[in-house]
Amino acid sequence: MRCLFFKKAIFCLTKGCEYGKIGLCKYLHKTLFVSEGKILAVGVSSLKDVAQAANVSVPTASRILRKINLTRFSEETRNKVWDAAAKLRYRPNMLVKGIQTGTTHTIGVMVPPFDSYWSSILYGIHDTLITVDFVPINLWVRHGDNFSSSGPVDDLEQIHRLIDRRIDGVIMWPPITPDFYAHNEELTSRNVPVLTIDHELPPEFGADSITTNEEHGAQLVAKHLLDLGHRRIAHLGDVGLETYSWAQRRRMFFEKEIAAVPGASCFAVEKRKNADGLELAKKILTADPRPTAVYAASDLLARYVYLAAAELKLRIPENVSVVGFADLDFAAYMMPPLTSVRQKGYEVGRRAAKLLIDRIQGKFAQNGIQSIVMNCELVVRGSTAPAAKQ
């Protein structure tokens, strides 16, 4: 069968395609619409196709389309190539650029969209990456608890999926466990830049990081509650996986602030992984003497305090003030609206992506690890009020 489009169509049809059908061919992986011995249409066109159509060599087409040494080509040739490219809807193949230059303009993002804070981080990463024509591959580790029915994901496999696709860098929210550290070495040993959010890896990994200024956050909350006259304060914390997780830091710094004030006290309760948050919140609110304020380590935990208060017929903020952390999307719509520490997720994402791109482009070749610490701000709403006189 003679082919209308390609010299090699015969090769193609004998090798892979079933004659008369739509088929995908080995070593000529355009989708050919074949009918009655004629190839009717082609899915993807290559530079070779463009060059053939314009009757020039492949390098010439390449240079003209990339506008390299444009002046060295006659106007006639230039137009021939541009017309052919437009007609064939040519699009460059970045995979080839990837194997040639070793940079794929792709970033592995190992951050799960847990809640609106993380979603906005993803937005920030996305928006910044595409301004430099980079693209994120979103893979996640250890999110099985809430959604996945397929059980936990193999961390190492996930990292390999990224390496195999030759990503230029990784932004991650690292599970803080020794074995994950080992997996991280897979990246650093191949000199793939890593940027961590919310946790700093040990310096030998050479990973940049962006973290929240937990101490500043603790100061904001402590000052706010102390100014309102609260002295018996409870903390509903999240148990982190390690001694220096954000949850631990959030508690420690807060306790430090409260301890510095004579007459003020803080007692902390930590929610373990599968513990019932409502029960813990009730435990706090039924303590004797009852705390006049509760600082929850996240807005999600603050919800439990609201539920517990409702069950115990306590009014917020009249009987107990509540402060959350993160200012998630629902915080402003709780009743009463929740006072919370705002983390600027979009900005975190933006700066994370910016920093990683700068690192990839070699801007810090001389300097060491870059660490960004993000400030946060207190958003005062209706869930906090002066401590009642007693």
Which of residues 5, 73, 82, 364 is near DNA by CB under 7 A?
A: 73
* 189 near a second copy, rule: CB under 8 A: yes
Q: Which of 36, 69, 151, 243 binds DNA (CB under 7 A)?
A: 69
CA nearest to 139, candidates 125, 159, 122? 159
Q: Which of residues 77-136 bind DNA (CB under 7 A)?
A: 77, 92-93, 96-97, 99-100
What whole-number distance in Å separates Cα of residue 192 and Cα of residue 171?
Answer: 11
Residue 253 interacting entry, from a second copy, DNA, none, C-beta within 5 to 8 Å by type: none
Q: Does 191 interact with DNA (rule: CB under 7 A)?
A: no
**Through-space distance between the first and last CA atoms of the chain, rounded to whole angstroms:** 96
Q: Does 127 bind a second copy (CB under 8 A)?
A: yes
The residue (of 10 and 96) whose beta carbon lies closer to a second copy is: 96
Contact of residue 22 among DNA, a second copy, none (CB under 5-8 Å per partner type): a second copy
User: Tell me, what DSSP letter sits at residue 390?
Assistant: -
Interaction of residue 43 with DNA, rule CB under 7 A: no
- In whole angstroms, give the CA distance from residue 329 to residue 337: 11
Out of 6, 34, 61, 112, the residue judged to bind a second copy by CB under 8 A: 112
Q: What angle do CA 263, 266, 269 make, to 5 degrees?
A: 165
Q: Supply the minimum distance, in Å, between the C-beta of residue 56 and DNA.
A: 4
Nearest distance, CB of residue 49 and a second copy, angstroms: 13
Distances in whole angstroms, Cα of residue 135 to Cα of each of 15, 125, 197, 349: 35, 9, 18, 14
Contact 33, 25 (CB under 8 A): no
SS (H, E, C) 181-238: HHHHHHHHCCCCCEEEECCCCCHHHCCEEEEECHHHHHHHHHHHHHHCCCCEEEEEEE
CB of 289 to a second copy, least distance (A): 26
One-letter amino acid at 108 equals: G
Q: Does 15 bind a second copy (CB under 8 A)?
A: no
d(CA 319, CA 337): 15
366 CB-contact burial (10 Å; exposed 0-12 / middle 13-18 / buried 19+):
exposed
Binding region for DNA (CB under 7 A) out of 46-54, 205-213, 285-293, 381-389: 46-54
Within residues 27-66, the interface with a second copy by CB under 8 A covers 27, 29-31, 43-44
Residue 48 binds which entry of a second copy, DNA, none, with Cβ cut-offs from 5 to 8 Å by kind?
DNA
CB proximity list for 42: less than 8 A, separation 6 or greater: 5, 30, 31, 32, 33, 49
Q: Say how far apart CA 295 and CA 305 lie, in whole Å.
A: 9
Among 106, 339, 340, 343, binds a second copy (CB under 8 A): 106
- Choose which of 3, 22, 58, 314 interacts with DNA (CB under 7 A): 58
From the list DNA, a second copy, none, partner contacted by residue 62 (C-beta under 5 to 8 A by kind): DNA
Residue 365 interaction partner, one of a second copy, DNA, none, beta carbon < 5-8 Å per kind: a second copy
Q: Quick one: which of 191, 199, 147, 210 has its CA closest to 175?
A: 199
List of residues contacting DNA (CB under 7 A): 8, 26-30, 46-48, 56-60, 62-63, 65-66, 68-69, 71-74, 76-77, 92-93, 96-97, 99-100
